[in-house]
């Protein structure tokens, strides 16, 4: 069996985490409350429905089902207004280097995202045809930290979970990779992502040498 790599999208390949934050915060503010950057950490990697559930708890609010759905639609509309302006140059520094290396070596790669907008974003940044498999919020029924999204990705790459390496910026995503018995690489702060097998502040700090070591390890 062979190594395969799975990339989260938001906060790993592109910094859409900041757009999600702006859009969720506007929703909260419109409902009459606010939440902190720290609370926002808990929204990363989490599905749209789960995110709104959490936010409403913070604001001590309950919405009717109809209003809940309306607020989710408004949030997404607002979020997409930012996404719409995205271009290839929004790909985070260091990411192309790693993607190109894996492509050159013919290592299978997948996208594993909770977002229902993943395909739209990949098209905007010209990465739609880069991945051997795309698993997104439209394919899964269980939100991270459930490993479903990554397990489906592994299956589509014909790789054993133990041979998969996952790049994640969220705690929920790192947990999902760990529960799925995959190698987890956190992108962000060590304090937040302490459960990851490795943590890097961003992709510019990931040397090709490190990726090569991961590939060799599997041959041993
Ligand atoms: C990612 C992001 C979350 C977002 C979720 C759903 O995991 O990290 O912040 O809520 O996807 O995204 P969507 O684009 O479907 O609302
Ligand atoms: Mg993410």
State the pTM of this model: 0.95
pLDDT tens figures, 39-87: 998 999 999 999 999 999 999 999 999 999 999 999 999 999 999 999 9
pLDDT tens figures, 87-141: 999 999 999 999 999 999 999 999 999 999 999 999 999 999 999 999 999 999 9
d(CA 122, CA 51): 22
pLDDT at 1 over 90: no
Q: Is residue 220 very low, low, confident or very high in pLDDT (cuts 50, 70, 90)?
A: low
Q: What is the pLDDT of residue 68?
A: 98
Q: What are the structure tokens assigned to 173, written together?
A: 């995503």
φ, ψ (nearest 5 deg) of residue 117:
-100, 5
d(CA 12, CA 90): 11
Mean pLDDT of 143-162: 97
d(CA 153, CA 180): 11
Instruction: Say which ligand is closest to the CA of 10.
Output: 2
pLDDT at 145 over 80: yes
Q: What is the pLDDT of residue 204?
A: 98
d(CA 218, CA 1): 9
Instruction: Say which ligand is closest to the CA of 11.
Output: 2
* Catalytic residue check, 202: no
Q: What are the structure tokens assigned to 186, written together?
A: 């956190």
pLDDT at 218 over 90: no
Please give the mean pLDDT across all residues of the chain: 96
Q: What is the pLDDT of residue 219?
A: 54
More confident residue, 70 or 2: 70
Q: What are the structure tokens assigned to 111, written together?
A: 């996208």
Ligand 1 pocket test: which of 47, 118, 141, 166 has the largest number of ligand atoms within 8 Å of its C-beta? 47
d(CA 126, CA 106): 19
Task: Consult the annotation and say whether 169 binds a ligand.
Answer: yes
Rg (alpha carbons) of the chain, rounded to whole number = 17
Q: Is residue 147 very low, low, confident or very high in pLDDT (cuts 50, 70, 90)?
A: very high
Ligand 1 pocket test: which of 12, 13, 20 has the largest number of ligand atoms within 8 Å of its C-beta? 20
Q: Which residues contact 184 (CB under 8 A, 6 or more apart)?
A: 166, 168, 174, 177, 178, 195, 196, 197, 198
Q: What is the bridge-based pairing of β-strands 133-135 and 198-200? A: unpaired
Percentages helix, strand, coil for the chain, rounded to the nearest 5?
50, 10, 40
Q: What is the pLDDT of residue 217?
A: 78
CA distances from 91 to 16, 95, 104, 142, 218 (A): 10, 7, 19, 27, 29
Three-state DSSP at 176 gives helix
Count of C-beta atoms within a 10 Å radius of residue 159: 22
Residue 114 DSSP label: S
List, chain by chain if needed, residues with CB within 6 Å of any ligand 1 atom: 10-11, 20, 43-48, 51, 76, 113-117, 137, 170
Q: What is the pLDDT of residue 23?
A: 97
């Amino acid at each position: 069996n062979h190594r395969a790599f799975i990339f989260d999208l938001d906060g790993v390949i592109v910094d859409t985490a900041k757009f999600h934050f702006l859009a969720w915060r506007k929703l909260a503010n419109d409902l009459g409350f606010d939440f902190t950057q720290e609370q926002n950490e808990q929204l990363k990697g989490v599905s749209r429905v789960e995110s709104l559930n959490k936010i409403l708890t913070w604001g001590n609010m309950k919405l009717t089902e109809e209003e809940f759905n309306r607020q989710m639609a408004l949030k997404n509309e607002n979020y997409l207004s930012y996404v719409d302006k995205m271009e290839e140059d929004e790909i985070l520094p260091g990411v192309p280097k790693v993607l190109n290396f894996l492509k050159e070596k013919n290592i299978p790669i997948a996208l594993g995202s909770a977002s229902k907008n993943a395909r739209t974003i990949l098209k905007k940044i010209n990465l739609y045809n880069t991945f051997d498999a795309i698993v997104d919020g439209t394919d899964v029924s269980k939100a991270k930290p459930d490993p479903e999204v990554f397990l489906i990705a592994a299956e589509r790459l014909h790789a054993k979970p133990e041979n998969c390496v996952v790049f994640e910026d969220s705690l929920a995503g790192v947990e999902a990779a760990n529960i799925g018995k995959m190698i987890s690489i956190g992108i962000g702060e060590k304090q937040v992502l302490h459960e990851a097998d490795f943590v890097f502040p961003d992709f510019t700090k990931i040397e090709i040498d490190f990726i090569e070591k991961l590939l060799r390890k599997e041959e041993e």
